Amino acid sequence: MGVELDVLRVLEKVPRQSPKMVKKYLKDVEKLDYSISQVKNALNYHAGSGHAKRVARGIYEITELGKYVLHHQVNVQGGKE
CA Rg value for the chain: 12
Domain encompassing residue 57: 3-72
Q: How does residue 78 score in pLDDT terms, banded at 50, 70 and 90?
A: very low
Domains held by the chain: number = 1
Residue 79 included in any domain: no
Nearest alpha-carbon partner for 70 in 54, 52, 48: 52
Q: Which pLDDT belongs to residue 1? A: 58
Query: Which tens digit of pLDDT belongs to each residue from 42-53?
Result: 999 999 999 999
Task: Name 81's Cβ contacts closer than 8 Å, sequence gap at least 6.
Answer: 73, 74, 75
Q: For residue 49, give the 3-state DSSP assignment.
A: helix
Enter the pTM of the model.
0.83
Would the pLDDT of 79 be above 50?
no
Question: Are 58 and 7 within 8 A, CB to CB?
Answer: no
Residue 13 included in any domain: yes
Residue 78 included in any domain: no
Residue 16 included in any domain: yes
Query: Which tens digit of pLDDT belongs to each residue from 13-72?
Result: 998 999 999 999 999 998 999 999 999 999 999 999 999 999 998 999 999 999 998 888
